[in-house]
């Protein structure tokens, strides 16, 4: 292979084949992928979960992860919070001419490692190359197909008195990427980027009263919770002192003028559960490697229809609206 | 909505919601999509076909199509040639800051229209926005899920004596895009961009001896046929005078220094079928709106192991290798 990716690698001709055969097939070795047709034939199920995300994070390598790891976790998590057992990924690259082949190799290795950790397979893919200045090193799309295991998860199930649980500290990914971009405090804060399918399975297989799960990525915890109640008669009351935020994340957010409640997370889960199930679900989360710092952070109420608000440490109330504007462009 | 797309539209916050609710949901209205979760829950099947492609075609509007139409047809066709009944699409945009909202609306309308024509639904999606100069108006990824209806299509089935059929004229898409880019002969040649799921179904439901189907996109007919026989003891002998090429496509290719056999097609099918089935499959193709100009163009032989060659109009032989280099960057 050459040292840099040229337009030839996106031609569909010999260099594209070389990339597939020398780098991609060995990394993602599995029977469906090696059929090498235009698509993969795989085992299905009666009901499926299907999700997609494109990843444009800048920089492509950041403390705690990289665009490859992120592109697997993001889609695995989206399938999992819908009640699906994530099984198959598609993987599509848009590479900027001039990208270092060694960087691509690192990303491909990271994708393969994360797939193994999450127990999913890349079964089909695509590579395009665009001219210098028409992209930014690499953009990755993954789509995920899972088999539906748990039906009926939906914000529509949320009831007054339900508890809101977050699986760990808030704002790590967004802060890690922003610091990495700014060059300040570099490497002190790690992205939380992680595959949460095991955590979702632990929670959902418990039979507890789980109303809805969601991974609060772009827009953060505040935006996701707003999506749960907007247009309804319900509100969500959070307690500021219960929201777990790492000290260095809080310090970095202060410095950068960010609010951790609006910073992207890539390895966190929000669960709304029946009051009677809150303690048990909390314990289940805390027993999982990705839920150790889980905490009940709020309650579903009926006092401010459609709103999310924070009971502050000083006894005040603060409405948390959906994110307005791009607090953090290209965070995922 | 604003007149241009700003970074805010990719934030995951209010403007992203506005884009989804005001433009995307009305265009792709269906129950799975309007669940509005991180993924869609849909009906499945015992065996699935899963495929993906990212589309980076330049320009985004070209005679006969646009990047939206292309992104539906490309993935529907990939699922269909694998024997799948294409059902669900994911749709993911990477938009360059500054794109005109009116252009995006045109593309969304084109996607919706093509989905309707092909009988598929967009059930899940994603939108990212990158800074000016980090993209080129819009890149689109689609992934497609289909239910496997016809098992066992594979180049491994090809036997000596089999016939190679192409569903119509060769090189239309690539030539249309290149002309459109160059400003020459503008609009004279239309892309063949079309959903071929109906044509595939017509062929496969006939019960004829169909070995493999493939849509010869990037790299063209020559590259796809090479993929069929490379590494085997078989070869493919084509007859130059049997390959259907439009006169204006041939003229444009001469002018641009291109070979229609290597130009991308986006609405054509290659079928390798048993000799005894060739006439019937040809008639089936010709009865379909997208197969009217179908022609038998060659035969599977054993004389040049792993090679594709052309018996020229002048009685010579010309080896057609896989595409080397990027004849046509960003053609799809």
B109-155 pLDDT, tens per residue?
Answer: 999 999 999 999 999 999 999 999 999 999 999 999 999 999 999 99
pLDDT, tens digit, 9 for 90 and up, residues B5-26: 999 998 888 888 899 999 999 9
Residue at token pair 């433009």: B23
Chain A interface includes B325 (CB < 8 A): yes
A19 min Cα distance to partner chain B (Å):
13
List all residues 6 or more positions away from A261 whose beta carbon is below 8 Å from its beta carbon: A170, A171, A220, A221, A222, A243, A310, A320
CATH 3.90.650.10 is held by the domain B155-319: yes
List, for residues A178-237, the tens digit of each pLDDT value: 999 988 877 789 999 999 999 999 999 999 999 999 999 999 999 999 999 999 999 999
pLDDT at A58: 96
State the count of interchain CB pairs (< 8 A) between A and B.
286
Average the pLDDT over B202-227 and give the result.
97
CATH of domain B7-148: 3.30.1330.10
Indicate if the pLDDT at residue A108 is higher than 90.
yes
Task: Calculate how close chain B gets to A191, using CA atoms only, in Å.
Answer: 18
DSSP 8-state symbol, B157: G
Residue A188: predicted pLDDT? 86
The residues in A 54-83 lying below 8 A from B, measured between CB atoms, are 54-56, 77-79, 81-83
Q: At what angle do helices B197-204 and B278-286 cross, to 10 degrees?
A: 150
CA A299, chain centre distance (Å): 24
Q: Which residues pair with A210 in a beta bridge?
A: A273
> Whole-angstrom Cα distance, residue A131 to residue A96?
6
Rounded to whole angstroms, what are the CA distances from A22 to A40, A77, A290, A320, B294? 19, 29, 34, 50, 36
Residue B294 above 80 pLDDT?
A: yes
Q: Do A141 and B54 touch (CB under 8 A)?
A: yes
Residue B31: burial class (beta carbons within 10 Å; 0-12, 13-18, 19+): exposed
Report how far residue A151's alpha carbon sits from residue B177's, in angstroms, rounded to the nearest whole number.
46
Q: In which band, very low, low, confident or very high, does the pLDDT at A33 lie, cut at 50, 70 and 90?
A: confident
Q: What is the mean pLDDT of residues B22-43?
A: 86
Which strand (E) or helix (H) includes residue A254?
A: helix A247-256
Q: At residue B326, does pLDDT exceed 70?
A: no
Mean of the pLDDT values across residues A59-79? 97
Cα dihedral across residues B84, B89, B90, B91: positive or negative: positive
Mean per-residue pLDDT of chain A: 95
3-state secondary structure of B33: helix
**199-258 of B, contacting A, C-beta below 8 A:** 214-215, 217-219, 223, 227
d(C-alpha B211, C-alpha B153), whole Å:
6
Q: Does residue A325 carry a pLDDT above 80?
A: no
Is the pLDDT at B278 greater than 90, yes or no?
yes
Domain boundaries, chain B: 7-148, 155-319
> Which residue out of A10, A16, A31, A37 would a mutagenesis test of the B interface target, given it has the greatest number of B Cβ atoms within 10 Å?
A37
A261 contacts A328 by C-beta, under 8 angstroms: no
Q: Quote the mean pLDDT of chain B.
A: 95
Name the nearest CA neighbour of A282 among A217, A227, A231, A210: A210
pLDDT above 80 for B165 = yes
Query: How close, in Å, is residue A69 to chain B by CA atoms?
Result: 18
> End-to-end alpha-carbon separation of chain B, Å?
29
Kind of pairing, strands B235-239 and B295-301?
antiparallel
Radius of gyration, alpha carbons of chain A? 21
């Amino acid at each position: 292979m050459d040292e840099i990716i040229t337009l030839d690698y996106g031609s569909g001709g010999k260099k594209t084949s070389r990339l597939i055969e020398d780098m991609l097939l060995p990394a993602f070795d599995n029977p469906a992928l090696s059929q090498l047709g235009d698509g993969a034939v795989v085992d299905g199920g009666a009901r499926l979960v299907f999700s997609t995300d494109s990843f444009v994070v800048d920089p492509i390598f950041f403390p705690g992860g990289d665009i490859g790891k992120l592109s697997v976790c993001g889609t695995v998590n989206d399938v999992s919070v819908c009640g699906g057992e994530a099984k198959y990924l598609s993987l599509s690259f848009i590479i900027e001419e001039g990208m270092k082949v060694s960087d691509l190799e690192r990303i491909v290795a990271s994708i393969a490692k994360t797939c193994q950790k999450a127990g999913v397979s890349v079964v089909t893919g695509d590579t395009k190359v665009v001219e210098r200045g028409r992209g930014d090193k690499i953009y990755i799309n993954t789509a995920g197909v899972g088999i539906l295991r748990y039906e009926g998860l939906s914000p529509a199930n949320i009831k007054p008195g339900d508890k809101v649980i977050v699986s760990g500290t808030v704002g790590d990914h967004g802060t890690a990427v922003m610091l990495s971009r700014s060059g300040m405090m570099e490497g002190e804060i790690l992205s939380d980027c992680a595959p949460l399918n095991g955590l979702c399975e632990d929670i959902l297989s418990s039979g507890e009263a789980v109303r809805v799960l969601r991974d609060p990525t772009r827009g953060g915890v505040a935006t996701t919770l707003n999506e749960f109640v907007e247009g309804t008669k319900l509100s969500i009351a959070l307690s500021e002192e219960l929201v777990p935020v790492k000290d260095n994340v809080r310090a970095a957010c202060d410095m950068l003028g960010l609010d951790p409640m609006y910073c992207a997370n890539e390895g966190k889960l929000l669960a709304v559960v029946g009051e009677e199930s809150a303690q048990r679900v909390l314990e289940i989360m805390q027993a999982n490697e990705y839920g150790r710092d889980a905490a009940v952070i709020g309650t579903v109420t009926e006092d401010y229809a459609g709103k999310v608000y924070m009971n502050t440490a000083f006894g005040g109330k603060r409405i948390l609206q959906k994110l307005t504007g791009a607090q953090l462009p290209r965070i995922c």
